[in-house]
Amino acid sequence: MNLLIKGITIADPNSPFNSKKCDVRVEQGKITAIGNGLSESDKGEVVDGAGLVLSPGFFDLNCSIGDPGYETREDIKTATDAAKAGGFTGLAVLPNTRPVVHSKGEVEYILNRAKGGLVDVLPVGAVSRDLEGKELAELYDMRLAGAAAFSDGDKVIADDGFMSRALQYVKGFDGLLMVYPESKSIAGKSQINESGTSVLLGMKGLPALAEEMHISRDIFLATYHDAPVHISTISTSGSVALIKKAKKDGVKISCDVAAHHLVFTEELLNDFDSNYKVKPPLRASSDIKALMGGLKDGTIDAVVSQHRPHEIEFKDVEFEIAAYGIIALQTVLPLLLQAGLDAQQIAEKLAINPRKLLGLEVPVIEEGAVANFTVYDPSEKWEYNRASNYSKSANTPLLNKTLTGKVRLVYNNKQLQAYG
């Protein structure tokens, strides 16, 4: 579809037009002209870009869909609808489905179900069969079939020897392991962050030590094998410090943080609202300060949604038995703006670096490039409610709240989706 955007601010550190206000013309899926005073055509849509930002299309490294097997939570259509509304033109979807994505058959299923859409959906294959952490899954076959990376999702790879063998194996074909950091023996059945809040609420606390010990193990293994490892959803100041030092020491390590861990603190649990129950748990304001510092100095490579849809019966229950996770694809941008990230940082952490980590082509806003971008209004206020929620699930504390920062349109694969 042809499109002309007038007077929009470009946010793309890789573009020669970065930070400039320009007109952008798209024809047949390519950016054909960028400049000032581009003439309008009777063929295609014209968009007034005043006050809007144009970024490379967002890409999420950490998204659960539920298809196959848990379609009552989310299917590929509803997930990609929510993704588009959140500005995402690409998703890496985790293997925690039924059956688990642990062979090329499941990888091919997801690719076939999602093909032809605006949103690129890339399966992440399981590291272990059935996510049990005992037997390696069909890693190389899945890679050949199109798996973008490998992860056991929110399941911890607890066995040190198994993790060591997995790193060795994927190194042979330049694969990437994305691991959730938690020492299970220390975490136990903890519900929330270990602090004065956990004592006040009378719940067993999950210490930062559980996350940091696990990261330390993976740093040692990555160093020993000279193999890359990606740590998913870090949440503590100690984790930031460990990864910062490891990068300085030359370890092939990367990491991401969930958007809600940059805004929400453990004090929000005082009312036992299960919609704030996430894992890793919400931490202290001092941790948020450290995470923001890690984003700015490059320690933290990317921001993720950690989208975890659940049916109502798994969340509208007592806090201690409620499932972990929130839906988040549509709220990442507002949370990042609330946290204080600027347009350049958002483009880097939400569009460019996630693709770099997976070895994917990074879209660039320049003439002759394939059009893959997101347009958003950083100051527009909107109500996130059941009518504007595109997910099949509704487990989020932000429902019926007024948010700032709205996606106005996304463009990818010669397809345009606009929002009023």
Question: If you write DSSP's letter for every residue of 225-288 in order, what string do you get?
Answer: HT--EEE-S--SHHHHHHHHHHHHTT--EEEEEEGGGGT--GGGGGG--GGG--SSPP--HHHH
Tally of CB atoms within 10 A around 343: 19
**pLDDT tens track for 70-108:** 999 999 999 999 999 999 999 999 999 999 999 999 999
At 219, is the pLDDT very low, low, confident or very high (cuts 50, 70, 90)?
A: very high
Can you give the C-alpha Rg of the chain in angstroms? Answer: 21
At 41, is the pLDDT very low, low, confident or very high (cuts 50, 70, 90)?
A: confident
**pLDDT tens track for 169-214:** 999 999 999 999 999 999 998 999 999 999 999 999 999 999 999 9
The residue-averaged pLDDT of 31-60 equals 94
- The CATH number that domain 3-54+367-418 falls under is 2.30.40.10
Token pair 């040692």: residue: 220
Same topology, domains 3-54+367-418 and 57-358? Answer is no
Nearest CA among 361, 399, 384, 414 for reference residue 59 = 361
pLDDT at 21: 98
Tokens of 196: 């004065």
Q: Residue 42: pLDDT above 80?
A: no
pLDDT at 170: 97
The CA-based dihedral angle spanning residues 80, 83, 84, 88, taken in that order and rounded to the nearest 10 degrees: -120
Q: Residue 43: pLDDT above 90?
A: no
pLDDT at 420: 81
At 1, is the pLDDT very low, low, confident or very high (cuts 50, 70, 90)?
A: confident
The residue-averaged pLDDT of 16-37 equals 97
The residue-averaged pLDDT of 295-308 equals 98
Contact yes or no for 32/25 (Cβ under 8 A): yes
Mean pLDDT of the residues in the chain: 97
Per-residue burial over 384-405, b = 16 or more CB atoms within 10 Å of its CB, e = otherwise: beeeebbbbbbbbbbbeeebeb
Per-residue CA distances from 76 to 81, 306, 308, 330, 412 (Å): 8, 16, 13, 15, 17
The residue-averaged pLDDT of 13-27 equals 98
Token pair 């996304």: residue: 410
**Fold of the domain built from segment(s) 57-358:** TIM Barrel (3.20.20)
pLDDT at 44: 85
Instruction: Spell out the domain ranges in the chain.
Output: 3-54+367-418, 57-358
d(CA 105, CA 323): 29
* % of the chain residues with pLDDT over 90: 98
**pLDDT tens track for 107-134:** 999 999 999 999 999 999 999 999 999 9
Q: Do the strands 149-150 and 120-125 form a parallel or antiparallel pair, or are they unpaired?
A: parallel
